[in-house]
Amino acid sequence: MARTVEPEFQGARRRLVEAIRDKGINDLAVLRAFEMTPRHAFVPTGLRHKAYEDAPLPIGSGQTISQPSIHAKYLELLRLTGREKVLEIGTGSGYQTVLLAHLVAQVFSIERIPALVQQAKLNIQAAGVTNVSLLLGDGTVGWREYAPYDAILVSAASPSVPEPLKEQLAEGGRLLVPIGGKDEQELVMITRKGTEFLRENILAVRFVPLLGTHGWRENEKGK
């Protein structure tokens, strides 16, 4: 069972869910996942008073937790049914990972920063979900051992679509990834149809750089 939200955060959580709904998110399963997931438990203690604002927040190691309405948009775009096997690139503090865990059969999540992997592991355990597997590594190469995936979510911006992630999509699978430079990107959805990959541009977004073999290199990020 998921951990209940402490009483002092219950009103703020409900207001956040309504704010997400007001921004056009109508998928009831997605809204329920936000109701079940205590965002304040995934941000630094000193920022918990801001946890239920619809805004990104720093989580350490130069990384951020995205604004909830962006998470919600990602999840609604994927049209999840509850039976999927999903790959997440960029675990961060584990917030989106737990949202996904409430929406799909199995989540595989990759994070390149050791300190975040350790924190996410604790956060995910505390949230009470058991259908998540974590890997410390280069997310741009994916996790071939458990491919193919029905959906892949990338939580950082890449200069182009990483080819290994396309290859690890199942037939009909969907990949969401921000593509662009350091200042702004376009959220792109790639859908696999046999040997073809259909591309759809969704909306303008801003994410931290996706570092790795098939993303930005450490010495060129943001150029």
Per-residue pLDDT tens digits for 92-148: 999 999 999 999 999 999 999 999 999 999 999 999 999 999 999 999 999 999 999
**Residue 217 reports pLDDT greater than 80:** yes
Q: Is the pTM of this model over 0.85?
A: yes
Kindly report, residue by residue over 50-92, the tens digit of the pLDDT.
999 999 999 999 899 999 999 999 999 999 999 999 999 999 9
Residue 8: burial class (beta carbons within 10 Å; 0-12, 13-18, 19+): exposed
Q: Which residues, listed in sequence order, are joined to residue 87 by a DSSP beta bridge?
A: 108, 152
> How far apart, in whole angstroms, are the C-alpha atoms of residue 54 and residue 166?
31
Q: Is the peptide bond before 7 cis (omega within 30 degrees of 0)?
A: no
Q: Which residues are catalytic?
A: 66
Burial pattern 55-75, b for ≥16 Cβ within 10 A else e, equals eebebeeebbbbbbbbbbbbb
Confidence of residue 221 (pLDDT cuts 50, 70, 90): low
